Structure 1
Amino acid sequence: MTTYLGAMSVTGRALATALVLCGLSAAACGGGTADLARDRVGVPPAAATTARPVTGDMAAPLTGPAAGVASGSTASPTAAGKPLSGKVVVIDPGHNGQNYRHPAEINKQVDVLTKRKACDTTGTATANGYSEAAFAWDVSQRLDKILKSRGAKVVLTRQNNNGVGPCITQRAAIGNKAKANAAISIHADGAGPANHGFHVIMPKKINGPVDPVVKDSARLGIDVRDAMRRGTGLSYSTYIGKAALDYRNDLGGLNLSTVPKVLVECGNMKNPTEAAKFQQAAFRQKIALSLANGLQQYLTH
């Protein structure tokens, strides 16, 4: 996010998990130093930020290699069982499509325990105006559908891409109230165009409410990172973090979380190659499936 404004024998439940995860062996929000010059709020994107419609592939059956099922298998996540039954997942789509129209609201300062920050920001956009808010909303809808098909209860922190906020403090509170087994915030970065790759941001201990779940959040982050690499073929970030892992103590959505939570920067929207991929519905589906597999790995092991 930038801102303007093995081989083993498995049975039963383990087989269901293995079938779902094995087929992807092919090939957050707020950046670090690269973001500082871009960390402004209340400035509208260069082009429209309205959400692009979710196309038909979102509703396509989750079967075959594209769904993360072993090649040659006819089993689907549903047919193989409900591996996430009883699990609660909170999906936090970054920003909101109308944030840029309401600078007073999103500029309002809130306490994230280690500092005060803007309630929310506009996010970044590709060179041709495809907004981070629209991208995050689309991927989140796809992820929601996949997780529900696997038996999870899903809670979204916002219900559309036509509103404002909520504030980062409220986003954390929604996950806490849901008593989520895992929460994930979905973003895309806006670094220099030569930079590329994805990274996962995890919380640090701050002598605050997140401290008890820092270790679990780190495990969640690694599982999500590994699934993203396998499922999308995107490289680890070339400009931030180490092996696509970044630990921060200045993000309210993480600092205030009492449930395991990570923030995923799915790539760099200012990089022409990644920007083009993000505007393909099939690639957004691939990202959503990869995130679902990472969450499932964490929740079932």
Structure 2
Amino acid sequence: MSYVGPDFEPPQSRRPRRAPLTVALIALVPGVLLGWGVYEAVGGGSGDPGAAGSAGSASTLSRTRSPGAEPRDTSAAPHDDGKKPGGPATASGSATASGPVNASGPLKGKVVVIDPGHNPGNFRHTAEIARQVDVGNGHKECDTTGTSTNSGYAEARFTLDVAHRLRTLLEKQGVTVKLTHDADSPAWGPCVNERARIGNTARADAAISIHADGSAEGNRGFHVILPGSVHAGGADTRPIVGPSRDLGTRIAGYFVSATGEPPSNYLGGGTGIVTRTDLGGLNLSTVPKVFIECGNMRDTKDSARLTDGAWRQKAAQGMSEGIVSFLHES
């Protein structure tokens, strides 16, 4: 999802590393189809929000075995990975939960919070979602409308659909799943700090925020956004940076294997991994959490996938396999 506005903060530039680069294989996941594994490069610091480029640690994807609103013109912001989340939600005060389909599944007792990005009704409540809220190290809008394909398929519809598919897959493993909002939720929001609070209150073992980007034609591919180290105001991500990196790299490896979607060619240096310190939904989380941008809704090739129900099922499958792998190890 991309946003254009006075407070838009693109990803940060990569700072020069102060120590030699150490590359470690993070996401070798047992078992199966030829896919992509994920290497995480450790070192360097996360920059300040508002600079260009990706922040924090760099990652490298290399081939290995791994299992299987309203339309807006955002073409002027080709590097817009967009999250402009913010603070306290007033529209939705609690998670939407459903009991696990398989209460005796192998992951009984585990809790996952799924955050479908935006809300289909946000575009009717622009004043409410524009309210500035505290995200720990700054202020952002409560939420945004999200983006859409050129034909008008809204990101908020996409994220809810994938969230429902992902919930079904996780519940079959015995996982208790909570959504930050659903079709029966209020007409807008929740704000992003409330989305984080829902995961924190649930003491989730993992949380994922689902999105799709709105960059320029030709910019395509997915990327997973990890929380950088933030210790400011009400935010302290230091305890979750490591576990979130593990969660995110596993999801990236399984996602590319399940969907065939390539890592982003415009963010993350071809790694599929970006680190950010300006997103309220990550800054305020106290549980392992990542965002995933499943593709670029404004690119012809990506939008053909994002609007296809069979592909969305594959996307949910890839996320599920990454989360399940993480939960088994956590």
TM over 0.5: yes
Matches within 5 A, 1:160-179: 160=183, 163-179=187-203
> Which residue matches 1:205?
229
Shift of 1:280: 1.0
1:273 aligns to 2:279 (yes or no): no
Whether the 8 Å contact between 2:222 and 2:292 is mirrored in structure 1 is: yes
> Which residue matches 1:2?
2
Whether the 8 Å contact between 1:4 and 1:123 is mirrored in structure 2 is: no
Whether the 8 Å contact between 2:84 and 2:279 is mirrored in structure 1 is: no
- Point out the more displaced range, 155-164 or 204-213: 155-164
RMSD of aligned alpha carbons: 2.6
Name the SS for the 1:259 alignment partner.
coil
Q: Give distance in 2, aligned partners of 1:264 and 1:168.
A: 15
> Which residue matches 1:107?
130
Whether the 8 Å contact between 2:217 and 2:299 is mirrored in structure 1 is: yes
> Which residue matches 1:66?
none
Q: Give distance in 2, aligned partners of 1:235 and 1:37.
A: 16
Q: Give distance in 2, aligned partners of 1:111 and 1:86.
A: 32
Whether the 8 Å contact between 2:79 and 2:267 is mirrored in structure 1 is: no
Name the SS for the 1:144 alignment partner.
helix
Structure 1 residue runs of 5 or longer lacking an equivalent are 6-19, 42-76
Shift of 1:296: 0.6
Rate the CA distance shift 1:161–1:237 in 2: closer, same or farther, 3 A: farther
Q: Give distance in 1, aligned partners of 2:80 and 2:297.
A: 16
1:194 aligns to 2:218 (yes or no): yes
**Aligned with residue 135 of structure 1, among 144, 155, 158:** 158
Shift of 1:85: 1.5
Name the SS for the 2:239 alignment partner.
helix
Rate the CA distance shift 1:142–1:111 in 2: closer, same or farther, 3 A: same
Q: Give distance in 1, aligned partners of 2:217 and 2:248.
A: 25
Name the SS for the 1:215 alignment partner.
helix
TM-score by length of 1: 0.77
Rate the CA distance shift 1:34–1:102 in 2: closer, same or farther, 3 A: same
Rate the CA distance shift 1:152–1:132 in 2: closer, same or farther, 3 A: same
Shift of 1:143: 0.3
Size of the aligned set, in residue pairs, is: 248
Structure 2 residue runs of 5 or longer lacking an equivalent are 6-28, 37-49, 54-76, 86-100
> Which residue matches 1:150?
173
Partner letter of residue 265 of structure 1?
E
Name the SS for the 2:216 alignment partner.
coil
**Aligned with residue 219 of structure 1, among 246, 251, 254:** 246
Shift of 1:252: 0.2
> Which residue matches 1:70?
none
Whether the 8 Å contact between 1:172 and 1:257 is mirrored in structure 2 is: yes
Rate the CA distance shift 1:23–1:140 in 2: closer, same or farther, 3 A: farther
Whether the 8 Å contact between 2:3 and 2:80 is mirrored in structure 1 is: no
Q: Give distance in 2, aligned partners of 1:38 and 1:281.
A: 24
**Deviations 1:4-41 (CA, angstroms, capped at 9, x unpaired):** 68xxxxxxxxxxxxxx97465468xx996635598899
Matches within 5 A, 1:39-188: 82-160=105-183, 163-188=187-212
Whether the 8 Å contact between 2:81 and 2:213 is mirrored in structure 1 is: no
**Deviations 1:78-114 (CA, angstroms, capped at 9, x unpaired):** 7xx8232211000000000010110110000001112
Shift of 1:244: 0.6
Shift of 1:211: 1.4
**Aligned with residue 246 of structure 1, among 259, 274, 278:** 274
Q: Give distance in 2, aligned partners of 1:268 and 1:252.
A: 22
Whether the 8 Å contact between 1:203 and 1:217 is mirrored in structure 2 is: yes
Tell me the percent identity: 46
> Which residue matches 1:74?
none
Rate the CA distance shift 1:106–1:217 in 2: closer, same or farther, 3 A: same
Q: Give distance in 1, aligned partners of 2:300 and 2:275.
A: 27
Name the SS for the 1:212 alignment partner.
coil
Partner letter of residue 300 of structure 2?
P
Whether the 8 Å contact between 2:222 and 2:272 is mirrored in structure 1 is: yes
